[in-house]
Chain A
């Protein structure tokens, strides 16, 4: 069974600074996808970034980037130049391609302070 662990229930960062959210996972599979989703107070789940396990290059989307360490089963999210609109709960998610099953972490509540 796959597990996803987000060890930081809550984090805060000053506006314009950089913050890193951690995520580790456990799987015996070799083919899978990893995602970070953002859930603002509106509760709408929004895709932030995704990483294919077979790609060594870390994914980047504007101010969001990941540090994917496959051997260590680590998938952290770095938010640069934090903005007030980044305040949300962030979920790390793992999708087992073969089984078609998704597993989400417990989430990290990020607060960006002005």
Chain B
């Protein structure tokens, strides 16, 4: 148990569907992250939220829309995805994004395995 949960664990959707991925952290952290991991590829950072504010958008297509209503929850809304978006989507949290003295370790959730048909 890492303290970071993700739902659903598996998702199959068509290209015209709208779905959302949910991430919740129980660690009292203030920063949350979305990563994409395609088959046999390195992790790609998608979004970073620090104290509910988006601080990083790594040129992610607009068909991915993040939402961070509070420091404990992070959503990734999906709309009109493409088959190449099929991947493992990992959520992570850390104490805070900035600050040398702050714990910077990211703790990952189990991921959502997404298949776009």
| Interface residue ranges, A against B (CB under 8 Å) | 31, 33, 35, 37, 42-47, 50, 54, 91, 93, 95, 97-98, 100-107
Q: Are A102 and B45 in contact (CB under 8 A)?
A: yes
The listed residue (B42, B45, B110) touching A105 by CB distance below 8 A is: B42
Near A by CB (< 8 A), chain B positions 6-53 give 31, 33, 37, 41-43, 45, 48, 50
The listed residue (B42, B90, B99, B106) touching A107 by CB distance below 8 A is B42
Give the complex CA separation of A4 and B92 in angstroms: 19
- Interface size, B (range): 20 to 34
In the bound complex, how far is the Cα of B3 from the Cα of A44, in angstroms? 12
Chain B contacts to A: CB under 8 angstroms:
2, 31, 33, 37, 41-43, 45, 48, 50, 55-56, 88, 90, 92, 97-100, 104-108, 110-111, 113
- A103–B56 CA distance with the chains assembled, in angstroms: 13
**Beta-carbon nearest neighbor of B41 in chain A:** A106
